[in-house]
Structure 1
């Protein structure tokens, strides 16, 4: 019975709901003590889940989704809509570099805004076009939530989510234009607009989006994304970034790309890189750890540009 209740609420359930399903105070305490249950927030719990197979940002997204459901489980229906990054988490949009410690809600009633018990209440004006339902919860639509979050985050964080949103969900021009007009004078709207203009659905991962922002911030020319190459033996592959004027390819090796760790995959990648070099291309490979050293990354790319000019 409790599992059915929790499934309807994103995995979260209250202490009262557990009691109604027959769990005694001692049983609740025992399950929390031995790790079968997790305390999501005061009086709200969920069964423990294994998330180690997910990327770190996806783990954070799942945890935040449960926190959102726990908060909404204690709210009066019809008084709020989930908004900002909390809405994006429910929409399944990747979030990186965004504060997920608080749940963001937009008031639908006359309640004041502000921070209360780990919940950030906003007073934005919403229309029916701004609202949808995800997993039984009223939330702001994906484009509305994206602009809400982008107005309160960094350019990099906004681009990462915007790339993913544009890649995975169609956003109509009319809806976007309406929202850009609504948010024109919001604090942070300049960042949101810049991030949207820079966003590209061809960016295929959080890491690629981060690397693209890094290169942009350091003044590199705009590369072609997902350019395809072939040689006399046929298709070689698509590359993450191609600087045509510099005949240079930049590839991002994601955190989980070689999780399987098979020698065959490493050999295939080495042969692919050899074929790219045989076409006269410089190849620069960037890892997740490299992103913590942006000056070093940019220096390596400039060095590849220089090699390309010497061999031209």
Structure 2
């Protein structure tokens, strides 16, 4: 990419239009050749970006990066001042972890009187946005984190809403007053009951997407509510801070413990084994959960209930 187009693209999330490429001295033939040989990729009609290698990233990060480019491509083709990025699209811009919301289309809130609805892969929403609910992220107008979270929670499954709500409460604790204001302001929105349920269930002590998903899974299957991030000690001192603790059942549930604590080396694997032995010496059952286990909820819940029975 020539320097002139690179500067322009860097200011637009890596995205540029066909007209902008032409203004930077690319001929139609050169544009065609770069798309055909894979140097450039088409983000949407008339909007392009340099191809990037994403295979080293987790699937959810790949999805977020692609959606971020799609947002810039959409905004690059609309008249400035008419819309703000909103809902899950705004959460992507803000860097809030997500799992499960539909990122197949860009969500925008109208700042003018244009009708809402789905147009060319873009979901346009109508509503009144207060100045306190607007921000500028990546050079784009967008709803704030609290507003975007409530918007997304109203149109997404409970699990998806909890994952992002946990992350916001954990990473953006100053958002709490605005979340409470928006709970009242959106009381009669479609889907607001689901949003309130997710906010009520959310916790800043849930430290990852996996922990949030596991907590929702256990809740959906009727397990008692666990304590989060409980510290255990023994005669030698600190033993561990565990993800989930069921006190009446004397059971600890750890999400992806081998990844979180082991790091893959023999020395740390041994340390993790000793840690687990010390927990069991305290009379605790220990259940480890991996990403793969989340795909078999009934089997996983049976394992946890089995630990309850043994305890």
Q: Using the alignment, how far apart are the partners of 1:96 and 1:287 within structure 2? A: 16
Please state if 1:243 is matched with 2:246. Answer: yes
Q: Is the 8 A contact 2:94 2:145 kept in 1?
A: yes
Mapping for residues 51-200 of structure 1, pairs under 5 Å: 51-200=54-203
Please state if 1:208 is matched with 2:198. Answer: no
Secondary structure in 2 aligned to 1:246?
coil
The CA deviation string for residues 267-312 of structure 1, in whole angstroms up to 9 with x for no partner, is: 222221112111111000111111111111111111111111xxxx
Q: Using the alignment, how far apart are the partners of 2:262 and 2:56 within structure 1? A: 10
Q: For residue 305 of structure 1, what is the aligned residue in structure 2?
A: 308
Alpha carbons of structure 1 residues 306 and 7: separation in structure 2 relative to 1, 3 Å = same
Alpha carbons of structure 1 residues 6 and 154: separation in structure 2 relative to 1, 3 Å = same
The CA deviation string for residues 100-125 of structure 1, in whole angstroms up to 9 with x for no partner, is: 01000000011111111000001011
The CA deviation string for residues 61-119 of structure 1, in whole angstroms up to 9 with x for no partner, is: 11111100110001111000000000010010111111101000000011111111000
Q: Is the 8 A contact 1:55 1:256 kept in 2?
A: no
Alignment partner for residue 47 of structure 1, among 46, 50, 74? 50
Alpha carbons of structure 1 residues 255 and 187: separation in structure 2 relative to 1, 3 Å = farther
Q: Is the 8 A contact 2:90 2:148 kept in 1?
A: yes
Q: Using the alignment, how far apart are the partners of 1:56 and 1:266 within structure 2? A: 26
CA RMSD of aligned residues (A): 1.7
Mapping for residues 251-262 of structure 1, pairs under 5 Å: 251-253=254-256, 257=260, 261-262=264-265
* TM-score relative to the length of structure 1: 0.94
Q: Using the alignment, how far apart are the partners of 1:254 and 1:73 within structure 2? A: 43
Deviation at 1:254, TM superposition (A): 7.0
Deviation at 1:34, TM superposition (A): 2.3
Q: Using the alignment, how far apart are the partners of 1:123 and 1:177 within structure 2? A: 22
Range that drifts further, 178-187 or 64-73? 178-187
Range that drifts further, 71-80 or 261-270? 261-270
* TM-score relative to the length of structure 2: 0.95
Alignment partner for residue 263 of structure 1, among 258, 266, 269? 266
Q: Is the 8 A contact 1:251 1:283 kept in 2?
A: yes
The CA deviation string for residues 251-274 of structure 1, in whole angstroms up to 9 with x for no partner, is: 111796589633333222222111
**Count of aligned pairs between the two proteins:** 308
Q: Is the 8 A contact 1:221 1:243 kept in 2?
A: yes
Q: Using the alignment, how far apart are the partners of 2:20 and 2:7 within structure 1? A: 11
The CA deviation string for residues 155-196 of structure 1, in whole angstroms up to 9 with x for no partner, is: 110000000111111244432222112210111111000000
Q: Using the alignment, how far apart are the partners of 2:138 and 2:22 within structure 1? A: 24
Secondary structure in 2 aligned to 1:97?
coil
Alpha carbons of structure 1 residues 173 and 251: separation in structure 2 relative to 1, 3 Å = closer
Q: Using the alignment, how far apart are the partners of 1:271 and 1:254 within structure 2? A: 13
Q: Using the alignment, how far apart are the partners of 2:256 and 2:294 within structure 1? A: 11
Q: Is the 8 A contact 1:207 1:254 kept in 2?
A: no
Where does the alignment leave 5 or more consecutive residues of structure 2 unmatched? none
